[in-house]
Chain A
Amino acid sequence: MNGQQEQQERWLSRCLQIGFVLVLLLLWYLGTTYWGISGILLPNPVMVLHDLKEVLGSGEFLPDLEVTLFEVAVAFALSCVSGLALGYLISRSPYLIAVFEPLLSSVYSIPIILFLPLFVLFFGLGPWSKIALGATISFFPIVLNTIAGFRYVDRIFITAARSMGASNAQMFRYVLLPAALPVVLTGLRIGFTIALLAVLGSETIASFAGLGHRIAQLADAMETVRMFAYITFAVAIAAGLNALVSSLERQAKRR
């Protein structure tokens, strides 16, 4: 396809995209303003926008945001440290890899959110049950990626370094670590995203604070306008954090 056709297509697809989204927004607006869709089910987008501005202006969101961010930060820190350490140790021995990698993969394949009630039993409804769950779930992509990263270092690099007399410490620092880094960083990014999702999810289900809890609370009270505002806010925060982490990952991968 030549340059001109390519440009045309790109322009056209952009239009379709934006058009599609605009149509949806328009329907939303018309539906709630003129066509009588109950405001309790689907609030008016203009009202939601107003409410969002109010929430942001008053700083009402702060305590909940703090709780959520705290839980995510601690959960991620825990899973990072344990995932990286265990991942590296396991990767050192083919025997350990053969034993643990399939085990860890299979556990990862069941929805670990199932264990939330157990964590609530242990830790109560406070932040620690969310932290425990978040740490547990995000542990898996980190440990699995760390194992893979160190395990698949091309043999030729190890052989070459050995032939030049590299010590074990030098081998780790100059060969294994940089070679494994891209895969490990990806694991960390995935781990963060999952920790965030796990925390939000467990807050929604069983908590007395945090953004997830707030949304659930507002739903219970049928305050749909404010709920929509908070949903928008939460999605924006999540998108922002994920974008931040992705860009950190990209930067770290660039030499």
Chain B
Amino acid sequence: MTIGDVAIRIKDVSHQFGEPGDAQFVRVLQHASLDILRGELVCLIGPSGCGKSTLLNVIGGLIRPSSGTVEVGANLIHGPLPREIAFVFQENALFPWCTIIDNVRLGMVFQGVSKDQHEDRARTSLEAVGLSEFMRYYPEQLSGGMRQRAALARALSLETNILLMDEPFGALDEQTRMILGEDLSVLLARTAKTIVFVTHSLGEAVFLADRVAIFSARPGTIKATIKIDEPHPRKPGFVTTEKFAQLRNQLYGLLHDEIRKGVEFTAVMGPDS
């Protein structure tokens, strides 16, 4: 799997909620810029409230930034681009009134895929995430980890070039995260997607990413990037290597001060400032 030219160009994106003077005014992003290459997996990591999820939503066209642009291929992003970009959300966004396979099929209905392809694509993607047996179950009957696999299957079935994942494993326990992370790496090695992955977990970032983009505290900007030069699929053993520890420490060093700043800021100004 080779990494190619620029797939996503984030240029100078700033975003604020509300107007200066409002009670809820908050500037979340400040001149964030990053070029993401085709086939790359980039992790966005940073302190709480630094705007990484906001940036993800901007890339996906769900939010119009206050200033700055995002280009995906030849397109300037100003709305959802379902044929190019698929999402996996942190919250459980599977429709509770549909079975797993119906959830996956529904995604294709929305995207506009022709009906004869639905069944095949759905089955293939569910098999890829290991949920073939559970196709006819309802989301509430499955564990958190399985639900997120299903959400991933739905995103994969849309066969987009770009996958945006917003802390998809955030609500899961550590052990499930580990397993899902390993499976994700295997899965992504097979496809050639460009992936932007928001996470809080340093270990997850180092394990999964080709590059990690580190955010500063709010208002967030991309402070630095670290390259993780390790071939995909990442072996589970990678986590125990010296190289992993070094990279993780490097990440920690860059991040720690920002996290502190974020916490202090919150302590002084209150949680929703």
Contacts and interface: CB of A to CB of B under 8 A. Distances in A.
Q: Do chains A and B touch in the complex (CB under 8 A)?
A: yes
Contact of A163 (B80, B91, B97, B112): B80
A164 B111 contact: yes
B109 A159 contact: no
B108 to A, nearest CB: 8
B107 A164 contact: yes
Contacts of B138: 255
Interface residues of B, number: 23
B89 A165 contact: no
Given A164-B82, A165-B83, A156 B91 contact: yes
Given A157-B95, A163-B82, A174 B87 contact: no
Interface string A222-246: 0000000000000000000000000
Interface in B156-214: 158
A187 B266 CA distance: 43
Contacts of B51: none
B226 interface: no
A25 interface: no
B80 A174 contact: no
B110 A179 contact: no
Contact of A166 (B86, B91, B110): B110
Contacts of A163: 60, 62, 80, 82, 85-87
A174 B109 contact: yes
B95 A164 contact: no
10 contacts: A160-B89, A163-B62, A163-B80, A163-B82, A164-B111, A164-B158, A165-B82, A165-B112, A178-B98, A181-B97
Interface of A: 156-157, 159-167, 170, 174-175, 178-179, 181, 255
